[in-house]
Structure 1
Amino acid sequence: MGSANAPPDTLVIIYVIKGSGLFAVTDALIDSKLYTISGILVFCFDLSKPLYTSFLIYDLLSMLPVFIIWGTASIVGINGSKVFLIGGVMVDLYSANLSDNLIYTFDTVNHEWAVPEVAGVQPLRYREASSTFDPDTGWIYIFGGGTVRYNYELDKTEFFNDFIILDSINLSWISIDSSSFNIPTKRASHTATLIENGIIVSLYAIGNKVGSQNGHTAVLASNGNIIIYGGCNFNRLRSTPDLIVLNVNNILFQWSAPLIPPNNSPPSLNYHTVTIFENYMFIFFDNYI
């Protein structure tokens, strides 16, 4: 379903993929393969296959060594063949305790999990942090997040605005002094998007014009614009509009809200994932607002 009144260069076709029982999922796109991770399962959707409006063929590749929600995933490794799964609530399947490991890697060729040895001072474990990946340097930029708890109690959660860099090629944590930065406020359930000029755009509770949001998704389109979908406000009510576009190609960023035909519009969601492949935007979810 396309954006009805959007300019041609922002037009995308939206496909919604419903996964029963999946919550707070994360995913990574390698070539045409979309690896979606939730709970203890890894699904692989082949986006190069013919698309259908009612279903998309997938393979169940592997089970995770831990149960995870609210983590982040990035593509790294030689030829982008590995997925790094970082942070979030990771629960050991045998002891039911939080895992001692902050990072797990998934080899998409051999379908094997591993725990990498990373040099440097390991940061604290956060949930609902944001991450974005620079393929030129192999650096993963991680920002914000909240304390890890089994139950989501907003009034008891401590939030952070730490800025962390993981060198995924040399496997080391990179320490930086962010005291001189105009660093954003403490936050979780936000997004971070690396755009072409090297700026990382963090979106969270983005104001009166488009409605406050958290638990939304943001993805960089081929024209350089950021497409934001879904989310809710602090009262757990739906953010409106569901789909907004941030034009970051000019010095002054500009918001717009393309109309979606109501008879084909996706449901209102949060803690879902979104991926753009060619001119298709795929939403993977199981959490209605």
Structure 2
Amino acid sequence: MDNFLCFLWLVILLLDLFITKSMSAFVPTSRYYQGSVIIGNKIYFLGGIDKTGTGTNNIFYLDVSSPFYSVNPKWTDLTSVAPIPVNSAFAPSCVGGSNKDTIFLFEHHRTNNDNSTSLVTFAFDSTTQKWSAPTTSGAIPQTRQDMRAVVDNNGNIYINGGFEPSITQKSYNSTFILNSLSLSWTNGPNAPIIRSAYTATLLSSGLILYIGGTNDDPSPEINMNSISVYNTNIGTWSLMNAIGDVIAPRQSHSAVLNKNGFIVIYGGAANNYTVAPNPALATLDTNSMPYKWSAKQFNSVYAPPPLAYHSAQIFGDYMFIAFGVSLINAKFDLATAPNNNIFILDTSNYTWVSSIINVNVNSSFVGPPNPNPTTSTSSTPAGNNSSPITIPLIAGLGSLLGAFIIIASIIGIVFCCRKKKRQHYYATAGTNTRI
């Protein structure tokens, strides 16, 4: 029995060391304007500008399968085995290819990190975890950055507008289409509004909605009601004037599409990145004609601060917001207000949660998010707003528990071993030794 207790204490100690090592595993540094895509239950993050003010060649992913906790998410770093061929930031990324498992990254840099006059395409095979620089044909786009890439069900990737960083330093309304199967570029018609730093969302109808952003007019942020709509079925543009609640203009925000056909936007910045526009959270109902905005109010310990330059992806009902910077002293600046946390919005009821206990894995997305998923999910917050357990408190309790287990384990082992030593001496005839 004593041997068993010693063994049990040793197992506890080893288990605690394993947990401690797991908790101290890879954690990405703060960054902004990284690329992000989702394949299966993994959100991949590409590059981004770090505290040094330069782009990075980092690639890593976040496993968002259930159960998922925002306190200690499951990060996996791939940079050591598959670094991005360039230092990347402000670059659109998208999933395409014949198996919908290839990440396409569109850069304004060559492999030596010099500026390029035309867009450079890189491809990451998520199965083999290898990068390539495939040769593309056709009308290769001019260099652009700060735009979004959207892929349709046929593997066509659409890129519009963007900012030319080195020569004209202006935004544009050009449309470029890459067939991710044949790797051939074609030109599409110009959009009705010049945009960069916008969001682009594909609907199940084949329409792509371009929302917000900035152009080269004296008033830089674009009216949120002026939505450029590209019809991928017939290759034409139109302009939709949305109605509903007043949503302040913004750029560098995020957007996802939930299963009910609502585009959910969060954050962004205005007035040269000195203002956090209101409301921070809003939805656009694409089921109504015209589309209708609704402001969403929230008061939750799990809600993020005002963010810009961040990214967002949706898995099931859950919107995952990552990285970016918050507003401090009238400025969105990574040096003073970095975000290295993950925030989760349940888009079925627009509540912020800290954990996902039960997600239907069949609702995971391969390639572009399904515009009209039919699977349902459920969530159980780790606590509630009436008696919240904050992230710092949980982390502190975890550290105290870990320290207690280590101390108790050491004491237990020493005690057992000493007791075991004493039991090596047995009483024999003619002695007065005590057991």
Aligned-partner residue type, residue 129 of structure 2 = H
1:35 to partner: Cα distance: 0.8
Which residue of 128, 151, 161 maps to 2:173? 161
1:234 to partner: Cα distance: 3.0
Is 1:197 the counterpart of 2:216? The answer is no
CA distance 1:212–1:61, shift in 2 (3 Å): same
Asked if structure 2 preserves the Cα contact closer than 8 Å seen for 1:118 and 1:171, the reply is yes
Q: Secondary structure at the match of 2:99?
A: helix
Q: Distance in 2 between the 1:109 and 1:287 partners?
A: 32
Write out per-residue CA displacement over residues 187-221 of structure 1, whole angstroms, 9 at most, x where no aligned residue. Answer: 11001111111211100131591101100111111
Larger helix share, 1 or 2: 2
1:24 aligned partner: 33
Write out per-residue CA displacement over residues 61-102 of structure 1, whole angstroms, 9 at most, x where no aligned residue. Answer: 131110010011111123211100013x4364xx44225761
1:175 aligned partner: 187
CA distance 1:90–1:68, shift in 2 (3 Å): farther
1:250 to partner: Cα distance: 1.6
Asked if structure 2 preserves the Cα contact closer than 8 Å seen for 1:67 and 1:91, the reply is no
Is 1:254 the counterpart of 2:319? The answer is no
Q: Distance in 1 between the 2:113 and 2:68 partners?
A: 39
1:210 aligned partner: 247
1:43 aligned partner: 60
Q: Distance in 2 between the 1:107 and 1:234 partners?
A: 39
- Unpaired segments of 5 or more residues in structure 1? 1-17, 151-155
Q: Distance in 1 between the 2:67 and 2:93 partners?
A: 26
Asked if structure 1 preserves the Cα contact closer than 8 Å seen for 2:93 and 2:148, the reply is no
1:141 aligned partner: 158
Identity of aligned residues (%): 29
Q: Distance in 1 between the 2:300 and 2:75 partners?
A: 28
1:60 aligned partner: 77
Asked if structure 2 preserves the Cα contact closer than 8 Å seen for 1:139 and 1:165, the reply is yes
Q: Which runs of 4+ in 1 moved over 2 A?
A: 18-21, 89-92, 98-101
Within-5 A mapping of 1:46-125: 46-62=63-79, 63-87=83-107, 89-90=108-109, 92=111, 95-98=112-115, 102-125=120-143
1:142 to partner: Cα distance: 0.6
1:19 to partner: Cα distance: 4.7
Is 1:243 the counterpart of 2:261? The answer is no
Q: Distance in 2 between the 1:130 and 1:234 partners?
A: 21
TM-score when scaled to structure 1? Answer: 0.84
Q: Distance in 2 between the 1:51 and 1:269 partners?
A: 22
Asked if structure 1 preserves the Cα contact closer than 8 Å seen for 2:311 and 2:324, the reply is no
TM-score when scaled to structure 2? Answer: 0.57
Write out per-residue CA displacement over residues 243-282 of structure 1, whole angstroms, 9 at most, x where no aligned residue. Answer: 1100001221000112222433211111111011112111
For structure 1, which segment, 42-51 or 212-221, has the greater mean C-alpha deviation from structure 2 after superposition? 42-51
1:117 to partner: Cα distance: 1.0
Aligned-partner residue type, residue 204 of structure 2 = E
Q: Distance in 2 between the 1:238 and 1:19 partners?
A: 25
Counting matched residue pairs gives: 259
Asked if structure 2 preserves the Cα contact closer than 8 Å seen for 1:34 and 1:45, the reply is yes
Larger strand share, 1 or 2: 1
